[in-house]
Amino acid sequence: DIQMTQSPSTLSASVGDRVSITCRASQSINDWLAWYQQTPGKAPRLLIYKASSLQSGVPSRFSGSGSGTEFTLTISSLQPDDFATYYCQQYKNYSPYSFGQGTKLEIK
Amino acid sequence: QITLKESGPTLVKPTQTLTLTCTFSGLSFSTSGVGVGWIRQPPGKALEWLALIYWDDAKRYSPSLKTRLTISKDTSKNQVVLTMINMDPVDTATYYCVHTFYYDSSGPRAFDIWGQGTLVTVSS
């Protein structure tokens, strides 16, 4: 099975900051990587798919990059609504899907 | 507009079987490529993928839970049912129903639409 590891587990930042979250896969997943945002009490929301494609309706301050085993989610200028928990997920074909453990983005 | 809604018991006893139903609108298993899956999240913990079923009845399961899970679909009712046997308190979680799609030309998609989730507590 493919293991996904996110870092950091917690990130403190301020409105307007540029932040990045890293996700590493235990084996190559090409670009079969998605990023989700979850706020307390709500279902996750898809932000990025295929490692770098922005889901419809998601602000352009969110971007994704990477391929193979290392991926990054970047938020260019944090807004108040962005303080949430972020999960990466691999969905490589013919493999069981798996999520990272999550990164909580907190207000500094 | 695609919507999904989970339903089922909020409380089950240890060793019992859990049956959850996902009822959806705005999509149909008559459409090639459609997939519906289940994901759970214990309180304060990470997401865990459980199972997935496609329009052609192909099914996929989490290896760690495969022996306890069964996923099925009812095309006429626009529903997907997940059963999990031998429930344990560690299975206490919010269970989400999700939509995906599989393109012959480019492979699977991520989970783009999520239900609101349903909290299931396992306790005697």
A66-94 per-position pLDDT tens digit? 999 999 999 999 999 999 999 999 999 77
Chain A CB contacts of B52 under 8 Å are 97
Single-letter residue type at A84? A
Q: pLDDT confidence of A95, banded at 50, 70, 90?
A: confident
**Element holding A51 (H helix, E strand):** none
The model's confidence at residue A11, banded by pLDDT at 50, 70 and 90, is: very high
Q: What mean pLDDT comes out for the span A50-71?
A: 97
Q: How far from A94 is each of B57, B61, B110, CA to CA, in Å?
A: 15, 11, 14
Distance CA B10, CA A70 (A): 39
Q: Do B52 and A97 touch (CB under 8 A)?
A: yes
* Distance to chain A for B62, nearest Cα, Å: 6
Closest residue in A to B5 (Cα–Cα): A43
Residue ranges for chain B with pLDDT beneath 70: none
Bridge partners for B103 per DSSP? B107
Average pLDDT, chain A: 96
Going by DSSP bridges, is the β-strand pair B69-74/B79-84 parallel, antiparallel, or unpaired?
antiparallel
Contact A86, A20 (CB under 8 A): no
B43: preceding bond cis by omega (within 30 degrees): no
Is residue B72 within 8 Å of B86, Cβ to Cβ? no
